[in-house]
Amino acid sequence: MSPGPGLNQVPIAALAAAGPLPLAALEAGTWFEPGPSLLSCRASAHSWDLIRTKLARSCDGCRSSVRPMQRGHRVEVVGGLHHVYCRGNQREPIFLDDLDYVALLRRLAKVVERFDWRCHGFCLMPNHFHLLIETPEPNRGAGMQVLNLSYARWFNWRHRRVGHVFQGPYGLVHVTRDAHLMELCRYIVLNPVRAGLAPEPGGWPWSSYRATAGLDDVPAYLSVERIWGFFAAPGSTGADEFRHFVAAAVASLDLAA
C-alpha cells in the first residue's frame, strides 16, 4: 500500500477544517514526516558578514572559559534522580482529550525501556507534566529529547497545528536526599488536588498515585519498589502507608485559597 500524502501536501484550509484525527490513524507514522530540510536554506553574503561580526565580538579573552552544554542544572549524572517538568507553550494545554494523555504515556513507556530509566512517579496535567526519574546511565537529556519531540510532532499532526508545543527546555531539579525524594513523590501526585481537578489524588487517572497506592496494577514503566521501601512495615508492601502519607498532606491543603 502506498503511503498517503504528507502534511506538506495538504492545503492549510483543509487541515484546519478537518479537526483532530481519529484513533485509527494515531500510530500511522505520518506524524513523524520531517519538514523542509534546513540544508535547503541559503544565507546571503550579507548574512554571513553579520554572523562573522557577532562571532568576532564574542571572542574576547574573558569568555574563553565558557563551556556550552555544561550548565550546572544540565549536568548528566550516573544513577541520578531528577524531578523533570515540562509546560505548554504560553501555558496552553498540551493534552486536549484522553487520547493525548495516553499518547504521552505510551511514549514515556518506550523511553523508559529504551534508555533503561526508572520512573518513580509522574503526573500529567492539562498544560504541563511532571516526571520523577532515575537514570542509571547519563542519558536524561537524550531521553527527554525523544519524549518531547515525538509527542510534540504527534500532537501537532493530530490536531492540525504548527509551531511549538512546549514552552521551552524542560525544567529540572536534582534530587540528592531521601527526604526530598519522599516529599516529591507526594508533591507530584497532589498537583490535580491543588489545581482543583480532583478532590483527592485517586480521582485523577493521569498520575502514578493509584498504582503506587496499591489501587491499580503497576504498569511496566513505573518503578514503585523504592518508594514503597520508605514506608514498608513487617507484613506490608508499603502501599497502604504511602496512601496515608499522601492523605495527611491532602488534609492539610487549604483548597479554599
What homologous superfamily does CATH list for 72-252?
Transposase IS200-like (3.30.70.1290)
Among the listed residues 106, 94, 129, 87, the one whose alpha carbon sits nearest the alpha carbon of residue 26: 106
Among 62-76, 144-158, 166-180, which stretch is predicted with the lowest mean pLDDT? 62-76
For 129, phi then psi, to 5°, come to -145, 155
Q: Using the predicted structure, report yes or no on whether residue 71 has a pLDDT greater than 80.
A: no
**Verdict on whether the full-model pTM lies above 0.85:** no
Q: Give pLDDT tens digits for 15-46.
A: 344 455 444 444 444 333 333 333 333 444 55
Q: Give pLDDT tens digits for 88-133.
A: 999 999 999 999 999 999 999 999 999 999 999 999 999 999 999 9
Among 5-9, 90-94, 246-250, which stretch is predicted with the lowest mean pLDDT? 5-9
Tell which wins on pLDDT, 68 or 103.
103
Amino acid at 77: V
